[in-house]
Chain A
Amino acid sequence: MESFTALLDGFASALTPQNLLFALIGCLLGTILGILPGIGSTAGMAILIPLTLTMDPASAIIMLAAIFYGGAYGGTITSVLLNIPGEGESAITCIDGYQMTLRGRAGAALATAGIGSFIGGTIATLALVVAAKPLSELGLRIGPPEFFSLVLIGLALLVGLVGRSVLKGVVSACLGLLIAMVGIDPVMGLPRFTFDQPHFFDGISYVPVLVGIFGLGELLATSGGAAPKPTAPTLRQLLPTRTDLRRAAPAIGRGASIGTVIGLIPGVSSAISSLLAYSTEKKVSRHRKELGSGAIEGVAAPETANNSHANAAFIPLFTLGIPASPSIAVLMGAFLQNGLTPGPQLFTEAPDLVWTVIASLFVGNLLLLVLNVPMVGLWTRILAIPYSVLRAVIFAFIVIGSYAVNNSVIDIYVMVFFGIVGFVFRQVHLPLAPLVLTLILGPFIESALRESLQISQGDFGIFVDRPLSLVFLLVALAVLAASVLSAGLKRKAGLPTDAEV
């Protein structure tokens, strides 16, 4: 088939030393930018675009794309090693990733994340090559009603995240939802709970919140000095064991599917993919009772999902010319500035470029793996820094990161506030995962609901009339029913209902 030959040609040009070099630089740069919370790859790409105007368009786009998915991996490094989420998509990785670090398994976690990311990204890119057009049609069919039902599935999976005490889990989730409601509401356009601060009109940015809850909260809670500290793993512990890989495999598979599908939906952030992947693991994995205390699935699934998502997000860009996220929008800007209009006609107008870029997606994913897995040893050396120094540096780090989101000092205060919240949560055993889930999903629930109702002119039937939406709703109900049923069964068997069966 001709796309295959075109792809091979693409590989030929993607593997030229020049383009390889750019991909390499991009991966490195992206990883470094991803490590800095609040900066992220978007800003980095935006700043580099003017520089890329002097470069050959294919090379420019290759580099920018590499920064993009390199950034996803960079966020993982800080989540796992330091419990600081680099971006929303790495937040849920903090939970199991950091636990693994505390048990000396940081190397295994990072390496598995790298492998999973590679597999996830490759699968998504394969999907792009093989079935771009039909997949993008699928993506378009997910309108506001379908999206609302999808988010409901996420909420249903929430039940699995609550852990021992359903009460506390629901409290955590409700608090997350409430935080998500701060801002200008999607219905009337009125500020809601914003304390008259325009800064909060767009809602409370979730990076300071997450960095505060995870990073600062953990540091405060362990300030007594007797807590287990993250230690640098020994050489033998650096790589995942065979058991690890065997356990991670199904998680990677699930994560890749979830990430690829959700990545197709334009406008959805990869944080949702990683959240849904994690929640699914909680429900479905064989080792689900270990999730939350350092299970490899808790790292493999979300990391694979968010990389799949990032790569799948290229599909709507290439086929429809719609950027799926702000970062892709920046990439799209790069296309435009080089005189190319993304969309289906790009395949006919500039096929060489398109296939070169697609080929470089494969190459870039591989490069990330090759770069980062050996560098795991280097990254974990960070943990060898004396704790008091590391802590001081982390403080500086999270302050800069929180500031950089909006160039505003208010976000630093937000971060400190949520640091206190995270600290208190830990003292009273309120679970963090539900709050993260509802915080990220929350804004979408209301806006999707409202948009759907505007489309249907007030008719709630739209959610069941549309087939895909109905399917999602049924899945959500099934998930809920399964949880309730299993709780009921456990009670009948005389077991405490919070025993994991």
Chain B
Amino acid sequence: MSDNTNIPAVTAEGGPATADDPRRSVLPLVVAALVVAIGAAAFIGSRSLGYWDDLGPGPGFFPLWLGVLLVVLGLVWFGQELRARLRPELARKPAADEEETPDYSLPSVLAILVSLCVLAACLEVVGYQVSMLVFLLFHLLVIGRRGPLQSLVIAAAGSFGVYYAFTRLLTVPLPVSSIPILRDLGL
């Protein structure tokens, strides 16, 4: 297995510090630690499954070794990242295509994730049509800052229109509400 950090920086790119300059970002460390944790969990979880039976590997065999591998790799990775931060002169300069981490905006990311989870939670409670209507309106009006009429039309199409198309034409059921009043309205 090649070990990339042994190779000293060959290129003389002295670009400005990017978002994932090893000095700044702590995310790779966290992820590496997570990988170790997942590996450990797999290892522990596989202990209760059989390791080997009279015909061959049991259900615990592969997860166990995968867990071991992940733990080892995670630790090595953690070490690499740590070394890059403590001894930056030894770090390999990231190549051109690696420098490009598209920037994300944390508020947007959170808004998206939360809205998706809320949508999922509401789907079977208030039914597809209402949930999707609200969801789309949120994303169009609030996040997308589109005009109200346009947003409403699109949201209506996406909720009622899609519902109609799926349940009538495609006969694929989309969730209806479990609240009786709404259900009787056809939602």
Q: Is the CB of B132 within 8 A of A396?
A: yes
Q: Which residues of B contact A407 (CB under 8 A)?
A: 173
Q: Is the CB of B140 within 8 A of A389?
A: yes
Q: Among the listed A193, A224, A491, A497, which residue makes an inter-chain contact with B63, where contact means beta carbons less than 8 Å apart?
A: A193
Q: Is the CB of A220 within 8 A of B112?
A: yes
Known contacts A403-B123, A419-B113, A487-B2; is-contact A168 B77 (Cβ 8 Å):
yes
Task: Write the nearest CB–CB distance from B167 to chain A, whole angstroms.
Answer: 12
> Closest B-chain residue to A38, C-beta based?
B172
Task: Write the nearest CB–CB distance from B29 to chain A, whole angstroms.
Answer: 9
A244 adjacent to chain B (CB < 8 Å): no
Question: In whole angstroms, what is the CA distance A219 to B102 when docked?
Answer: 10
> Closest B-chain residue to A491, C-beta based?
B2
A302 adjacent to chain B (CB < 8 Å): no
A243 adjacent to chain B (CB < 8 Å): no
Q: Is the CB of B55 within 8 A of A450?
A: yes
A470 adjacent to chain B (CB < 8 Å): no
Q: Is the CB of A392 within 8 A of B140?
A: yes
B contacts with A: majority SS: helix
Q: Is the CB of B98 within 8 A of A39?
A: no
Question: In whole angstroms, what is the CA distance A43 to B173 when docked?
Answer: 12
B184 adjacent to chain A (CB < 8 Å): no
Interface string of B143-178 (1 = CB under 8 A from A): 111100010001000100010001000111111000
A399 adjacent to chain B (CB < 8 Å): yes
Q: Among the listed B2, B66, B115, B146, which residue makes an inter-chain contact with A174, where contact means beta carbons less than 8 Å apart?
A: B66
Task: Write the nearest CB–CB distance from B112 to chain A, whole angstroms.
Answer: 6
Q: How many residues of B contact A (CB 8 A)?
A: 75
Interface string of B34-71 (1 = CB under 8 A from A): 01001100100100011001111111001100110110
Q: Which residues of A contact B31 (CB under 8 A)?
A: 424, 428, 430
Q: Which residues of B contact A347 (CB under 8 A)?
A: none
Interface string of A454-493 (1 = CB under 8 A from B): 1001101000000000000000000000000001000100
Q: Which residues of B contact A419 (CB under 8 A)?
A: 113, 116
Known contacts A396-B136, A496-B10, A498-B4; is-contact A174 B73 (Cβ 8 Å):
yes
Question: In whole angstroms, what is the CA distance A452 to B45 when docked?
Answer: 26
> Closest A-chain residue to B105, C-beta based?
A224
A contacts with B: majority SS: helix
> Closest A-chain residue to B19, C-beta based?
A427
Q: Is the CB of B70 within 8 A of A497?
A: no
B95 adjacent to chain A (CB < 8 Å): yes
Q: Is the CB of B70 within 8 A of A222?
A: no
Task: Write the nearest CB–CB distance from B171 to chain A, whole angstroms.
Answer: 5
Q: Which residues of B contact A453 (CB under 8 A)?
A: 55-56
> Closest B-chain residue to A490, C-beta based?
B2
Known contacts A227-B103, A400-B162; is-contact A219 B112 (Cβ 8 Å):
yes
> Closest B-chain residue to A395, C-beta based?
B139
Question: In whole angstroms, what is the CA distance A450 to B53 when docked?
Answer: 11
Q: Is the CB of A47 within 8 A of B120?
A: no
Q: Which residues of B contact A234 (CB under 8 A)?
A: none
Q: Is the CB of A403 within 8 A of B174?
A: yes
Q: Which residues of A contact B103 (CB under 8 A)?
A: 224, 226-227
Task: Write the nearest CB–CB distance from A107 to chain B, whole angstroms.
Answer: 23
B13 adjacent to chain A (CB < 8 Å): no
Known contacts A181-B63, A192-B49; is-contact A167 B140 (Cβ 8 Å):
no
Question: In whole angstroms, what is the CA distance A501 to B80 when docked?
Answer: 25
- A interface residues with partner B (beta carbon < 8 Å): 39, 43-44, 47, 164-168, 170-171, 174-175, 177-178, 181, 185, 187-188, 190, 192-193, 216, 219-228, 293, 386, 388-389, 391-393, 395-396, 399-400, 403-404, 407, 409, 412-413, 416, 419-420, 423-424, 426-430, 445-446, 449-450, 453-454, 457-458, 460, 487, 491, 496-498
CB<8 Å pairs between A and B, sample of 28? A47-B170, A47-B171, A171-B77, A174-B39, A174-B66, A188-B53, A188-B59, A192-B63, A193-B63, A221-B101, A221-B102, A386-B144, A389-B144, A389-B150, A392-B136, A400-B162, A400-B166, A409-B123, A409-B124, A413-B120, A416-B117, A419-B116, A423-B109, A446-B62, A450-B56, A453-B55, A454-B55, A458-B54
Q: What 10 pairs between A and B have smallest CB-CB spacing? A: A388-B144, A224-B103, A223-B108, A392-B139, A185-B59, A227-B102, A453-B56, A412-B120, A497-B2, A224-B105
Q: A396-B132, A426-B101, A428-B28 given. 14 additional CB < 8 A pairs?
A: A171-B74, A171-B77, A178-B70, A188-B58, A221-B102, A393-B136, A393-B158, A409-B121, A427-B25, A427-B101, A429-B101, A430-B31, A445-B62, A453-B56
